[in-house]
Amino acid sequence: MNHKPTWFQEMLAAQGITLSERQLEQFELYYQLLVEWNEKMNLTGITEREAVYEKHFYDSISLSFYIDVKGRSLADIGSGAGFPSLPLKICYPDMKIMIVDALNKRIQFLKHVVERLGLDHVQCVHGRAEDIARLPEHRDHYDFATARAVARLNVLAEFCLPFVRQNGLFIAMKGTAPDEELVEATASLQQLKGKLKAVHPMKLPFEQSDRHMIVIDKIAATPKKFPRKAGLPLKQPIT
Ligand code: SAM
């Protein structure tokens, strides 16, 4: 890539996000830990510094270009190596984050990152979204729930919407135009009390690949029967 390393700071500043020295150091330490732990476990296929900053960090933060996340609570479902929630948390330290991932090794990595970066109000929970969403402390609770690269929208709705409080938002971070997925998810959204609010298209600044942020309003509490038993949403998606 032919850009200077300062692009990250400058492009975020253009979006009204001014990063302090400490925040820039947190991103750099996060990058180093990601690459270091990636040698022992599968966290990401992207390890080149500039690419991590663009395709993981910048892409994650782009959620806040469209949604005001300051001081809000966010459930990140299937966060993997911490995307999108940890880059958002670094930029907006007053957010409250709850991460769920089914792979315990990734949760251990995330706990380590949270500790090393000195982040507070980040809870990392090992488990399946379908099970964790049934616990009263997480159900219908968060201002927002999000997921990036986890499943198709009809499945994601069942993973994510149960975490969102009434009048909160479910934000699905997708790549190419999601028109087909939106049609496929009609019944799922309806049954899980979601209503499409907006789709925001974006391109990554250098690689120029497409991104689409699907924003869904939660219009009522989650019906008792959802989410179904762990594994079922993926095996038998609502159609
Ligand atoms: N969101 C991250 C990103 O954008 O880089 C990680 C994406 S990774 C492809 C998908 C992650 O979702 C994996 O870490 C996997 O363990 C997790 N996952 C898949 N199904 C899940 C479920 N039902 N509950 C919790 N986590 C799940």
Q: Provide the number of structural domains found in the chain.
A: 1
Cβ(74)–Cβ(88) below 8 Å: yes
b/e burial code for range 109-134 (CB count within 10 A of at least 16 → b): bbeebbeebebeebebbbbbbbebbb
Give the whole-angstrom CA distance, residue 136 versus residue 214: 26
Retrieve residue 161's tokens.
Answer: 């919407």
Report whether the peptide linkage leading into residue 5 is cis, meaning its omega lies within 30 degrees of zero.
Answer: no
Residue 230 lies in a domain: no
Residue 235 lies in a domain: no
Residue 233 lies in a domain: no
What's the CATH code of the domain at 140? 3.40.50.150
* DSSP-assigned letter for residue 56: I
Residue 236 lies in a domain: no
Nearest CA to ligand 1 atom 6: 80
Per-residue pLDDT in tens (0 to 9) along the chain, 239 residues = 434 469 999 999 999 999 999 999 999 999 999 999 999 999 999 999 999 999 999 999 999 999 999 999 999 999 999 999 999 999 999 999 999 999 999 999 999 999 999 999 999 999 999 999 999 999 999 999 999 999 999 999 999 999 999 999 999 999 999 999 999 999 999 999 999 999 999 999 999 999 999 999 999 999 999 999 999 999 999 99
Tell how far the Cα of 39 is from the centroid of ligand 1, in angstroms: 19
pTM of the model: 0.97
Residue 231 lies in a domain: no
Residue 234 lies in a domain: no
Residue 67 lies in a domain: yes
Retrieve residue 148's tokens.
Answer: 């990036």
Using the atom order of ligand 1, give the atom closest to the CA of residue 103: 16
Host domain of residue 34:
6-220
Residue 87 lies in a domain: yes
Using the atom order of ligand 1, give the atom closest to the CA of residue 129: 24
* Ligand 1 pocket by Cβ (under 6 Å): 78-81, 83, 100-103, 106, 128-130, 148-150, 159
| Pocket mutation for ligand 1, best pick of 150, 174, 232, 234 (most atoms within 8 Å of C-beta) | 150
